Amino acid sequence: MAAARPLVNVYNALSDDTEVSGSVELPGVFSAPIRRDLVHLVHKNMAKNSRQAYAVNKDAGMQHSAISWGTGRAVARIPRVASSGTHRSGQAAFGNMCRKGRMFGPTKTWRKWHRKINVNMRRFATASAVAATGVTPLVMARGHRIESLNEVPLVLDNLDGVSKVKEALAILARFGADEDVERVKDSKAKRATKGKMRNRMFRQRRGPLVIHAQGKDGDKGRPLVELAFRNIPGVEVAHVDRLNLLQLAPGGHMGRFCIWTKDAFERLPALFGAAPGAEAELKSGFVLPRSVMANADLARLLNSSEIQAALNPKKAGQRKVPRKSNPLRNRGQMARLNPYSVHQRRQEILDAEAKAAGRARVLHKKRTESDEKIKARRVASRNFFKSMVSDDWTFGASA
């Protein structure tokens, strides 16, 4: 399960040190099943709902006076520009493979841009994303620097009264969240694609998400906490009643580092349900999902006395498996099938040894021959050659 402890410490945001001002019960939403596939699906469909329709001109690439030449000219049957006296005449037109031609499948504005998402599916995905924010390995795996934090989730009290950016930076540094802000600042880089021409010059990582429950009492009807954190790189602010999956799991990746106010943290049971299987007060018809396994420690379950008592005892002895071997490679198997193969193999070895011994004797005889015999053999060879040369019949001499 995502939740491993019943209570969460609450820290005073306005104190000079990390003072624990109290504790609150961990909401049941942190025990919801973490469905990575569901979060990815809902995030993908939600991100499509902010797209703007686009299309090419319906007449683009089609404003030519062109007609096909037909067959019989040893050229393609693509329409060709009429007229003469210019390089353009006779060139192919209209096709997507042609210069100045239209694209294949011109885009239309009536494409299905937006996606409908079931309400309970969207709520389930939000609950999974909230539960993932309380799992430290998932938060660190997403890249957040939370090594200096005391615990996750981080709940702060008296944060609603902060309205200055300087005070907000001091609070983040006091509780160890400034490392994540520095990571965001260092990640800012120029975009590599055409987005530079479309008001998206830079790209950077996402930092902490501050979740509050404050009403509108600040400048221009905005909460004070939003005024304090709005200008810090990577830091975003969200109201607990309007939690957005695009902020809780940017890119469809769960485990964003969240900083909760005490009021927002205490409001979660009313929004999602007090416990798994309980109905939410503020969301009609929504029941907080229950995990399939009450205990995720599978080894503990398998080794429990209840399951071990229901299992069959271990079979004694060793199961004999017939050995399959190739007689052409295994001599022992061949000897069992054909006993004469042993004598045949032995005879082959003896013949090979005798042949090798004969070659060795001949070679030894040549190497140990005396110098007189070698000289005599050379003289005999020369004499034989001279006798052959002196014979007139050998070269066809006339009588």
The hierarchical CATH code for the domain 7-50+114-294 is 3.40.1370.10
pLDDT at 393 over 60: no
Cα(30)–Cα(129) distance, rounded to whole angstroms?
Answer: 9
Bridge-partner residues for 211, per DSSP? 238, 260
Are 51 and 297 a contacting pair, CB within 8 Å?
no
In 142-208, where do the E strands start and end? 154-157, 189-190, 202-203
Are 43 and 246 a contacting pair, CB within 8 Å?
yes
pLDDT at 211 over 60: yes
Cα(115)–Cα(49) distance, rounded to whole angstroms?
Answer: 6
Cα(257)–Cα(249) distance, rounded to whole angstroms?
Answer: 10
257-278 tens-digit pLDDT? 999 999 999 999 999 998 888 8
Position 2 confidence tier, pLDDT thresholds 50, 70, 90: very low
Res 291: pLDDT: 85
What residues have CB less than 8 Å from 331, skipping those under 6 apart?
Answer: 341, 345
- For 316, 326, 334, the CA distances from 322, given in Å and listed in that order, are 19, 13, 17
- Whether residue 27 is preceded by a cis peptide bond, meaning omega within 30 degrees of 0, is no
Average pLDDT over residues 231-248: 96
Res 315: pLDDT: 84
Chain Cα centroid distance, residue 86: 55
Cα(397)–Cα(88) distance, rounded to whole angstroms?
Answer: 88
86-135 tens-digit pLDDT? 999 999 999 999 999 999 999 999 999 999 999 999 999 999 999 999 99
Cα(20)–Cα(185) distance, rounded to whole angstroms?
Answer: 30
306-336 tens-digit pLDDT? 999 999 988 888 888 888 999 999 999 999 9
pLDDT at 47 over 80: yes
Burial of 262 (0-12, 13-18, 19+ CB in 10 A): buried
Query: Which tokens sit at 117?
Result: 């998402």
What residues have CB less than 8 Å from 237, skipping those under 6 apart?
Answer: 209, 210, 211, 212, 223, 225, 226, 229, 230
Is the pTM higher than 0.75? The answer reads no
Mean residue pLDDT across the chain: 91
In the chain, where do the E strands start and end? 7-12, 20-25, 66-67, 80-81, 154-157, 189-190, 202-203, 209-212, 236-239, 258-261
CA angle centred on 351, ends 349 and 353, rounded to 5°: 70
Res 160: pLDDT: 86
Q: Are strands 66-67 and 202-203 parallel, antiparallel or unpaired?
A: unpaired
> Residue ranges per domain, the chain?
7-50+114-294, 331-386
Cα(156)–Cα(175) distance, rounded to whole angstroms?
Answer: 10
Q: Are strands 209-212 and 202-203 parallel, antiparallel or unpaired?
A: unpaired
pLDDT at 60 over 50: yes
For the chain, give the percent of residues with pLDDT over 70. Answer: 95
pLDDT at 391 over 80: no
CA angle centred on 37, ends 34 and 42, rounded to 5°: 100
What residues have CB less than 8 Å from 193, skipping those under 6 apart?
Answer: none
Res 399: pLDDT: 46
Q: Which residue has the higher pLDDT, 296 or 132?
A: 132
Average pLDDT over residues 55-71: 96
Specify which of 8-12, 14-18, 159-163 reaches the highest per-range mean pLDDT: 8-12
For the chain, give the percent of residues with pLDDT over 90. Answer: 76
Q: Which residue has the higher pLDDT, 375 or 183?
A: 183
What residues have CB less than 8 Å from 396, skipping those under 6 apart?
Answer: none
Q: Which residues of 41-72 are buried (b: 16+ CB within 10 A; e: fewer)?
A: bbbebbeeeeeeeeeeeeeebeebebeeeeee
Cα(382)–Cα(97) distance, rounded to whole angstroms?
Answer: 85
CA angle centred on 12, ends 176 and 162, rounded to 5°: 85
What residues have CB less than 8 Å from 235, skipping those under 6 apart?
Answer: 172, 181, 184, 207, 208, 209, 210, 229
Position 368 confidence tier, pLDDT thresholds 50, 70, 90: confident
